Structure 1
């Protein structure tokens, strides 16, 4: 979002400043989230590299020693499980990041509230980083719970600001009961 785009929309300078401040804080949150994920990824890679180095060293020392051989096999099984767990955790982190981005693009008012309504078993992240199974759920929620989405200003909503309307309230109720309401 650029300041010039907001000026073209006819917004005043103080409105533009407030919008840019909000946008800037959102960008900073996303940057910090990405930095945390990258940092965690690097830490996990370092752990795996250290583990592999330990396994090679143990294997070289174990040659004929049965006890060390068994210890090596136990460690290998443990590390295999740890690798699977770390891979699953990394996949879940990627899925959560992609889901948050998709929900933000869908103009969801509260991502935590929407997550409770989503069937997460149906939402998958493919190898290209694209979410599957989310669009249908979002469209369904837009229809059933539209208040959860920021749809901007509605053109057909004209409140009376607490002032009485021109219509006669008694006649309006009579029309409603007869089924002739406007």
Structure 2
């Protein structure tokens, strides 16, 4: 979606900015989900490849039954630990993605800076995939560090000593004054 396309629909700049803001938030949410799924996929692919490699090595070493049994137990404990680590990593990735989405929804200008000010120990991901303990922190950040958030309205820059806005049709105004008309 481009500004020019929205201009062709006879939308003014304020409406275009609002539409682009909403569209940007949706795009950021989709990017976060895509990144999360990509990381999950990479982790699972590498884990499967490692297990296949270990099983092939185990088949080659199928000599002594007791030795094989010990190797099997070692691999089981290793896989259990790997699965726990992967689950923790996946949960953290989901949490980071959900926090990024929430910050984008709050119109944060710099998510890294905002994340640094959050107490992530109080932020949890519930069973439904919703973030808990973040809304209060975001609202307090909006009060204490409002510069991190896009407020939506920008005042036009007026240079020092630049004076007030000028009349675009100054010649016509001057002519009317000389004729004795007040505009």
Q: Normalization by structure 1: what TM-score?
A: 0.65
Structure with more relative contact order (C-alpha pairs < 8 Å, separation 6 or more): 2
For residues 6 and 133 of structure 1, do their structure 2 counterparts lie closer, same or farther at Cα, with a shift above 3 Å needed?
Answer: farther
How many residues matched?
157
Of stretches 103-112 and 29-38 in structure 1, the one that deviates more from structure 2 is 29-38
In 2, distance between residues paired with 1:101 and 1:33?
Answer: 7
Q: Tell me how far 1:106 sits from its aligned partner.
A: 0.5
For residues 119 and 6 of structure 1, do their structure 2 counterparts lie closer, same or farther at Cα, with a shift above 3 Å needed?
Answer: farther
Q: Tell me how far 1:34 sits from its aligned partner.
A: 3.6
Q: Gapped runs of 5+ residues in structure 1?
A: 166-182
In 2, distance between residues paired with 1:87 and 1:146?
Answer: 36
In 2, distance between residues paired with 1:125 and 1:6?
Answer: 43
Matched, 1:121 2:133: no
Q: Tell me how far 1:7 sits from its aligned partner.
A: 5.2
2:80 counterpart SS class: helix
Contact 1:124/1:131, CA 8 A, preserved across alignment: yes
1:64-102 Cα shifts (integer Å, max 9, x gaps) = 822111111111111111111111111111111111110
In 1, distance between residues paired with 2:158 and 2:85?
Answer: 58
In 2, distance between residues paired with 1:103 and 1:123?
Answer: 13
In 2, distance between residues paired with 1:30 and 1:93?
Answer: 14
Name the counterpart of 2:34: 35
Q: Tell me how far 1:36 sits from its aligned partner.
A: 3.9
1:97-152 Cα shifts (integer Å, max 9, x gaps) = 11111001001111000111000000111121111010111111111111111112
Matched, 1:86 2:110: no
Contact 1:106/1:149, CA 8 A, preserved across alignment: yes
The Cα RMSD (Å) is 4.4
Q: Normalization by structure 2: what TM-score?
A: 0.64
For residues 5 and 119 of structure 1, do their structure 2 counterparts lie closer, same or farther at Cα, with a shift above 3 Å needed?
Answer: farther
Larger radius of gyration: 2
2:104 counterpart SS class: helix
Contact 1:7/1:16, CA 8 A, preserved across alignment: no
Q: Gapped runs of 5+ residues in structure 2?
A: 164-183
Q: Tell me how far 1:44 sits from its aligned partner.
A: 3.1
In 1, distance between residues paired with 2:8 and 2:135?
Answer: 29
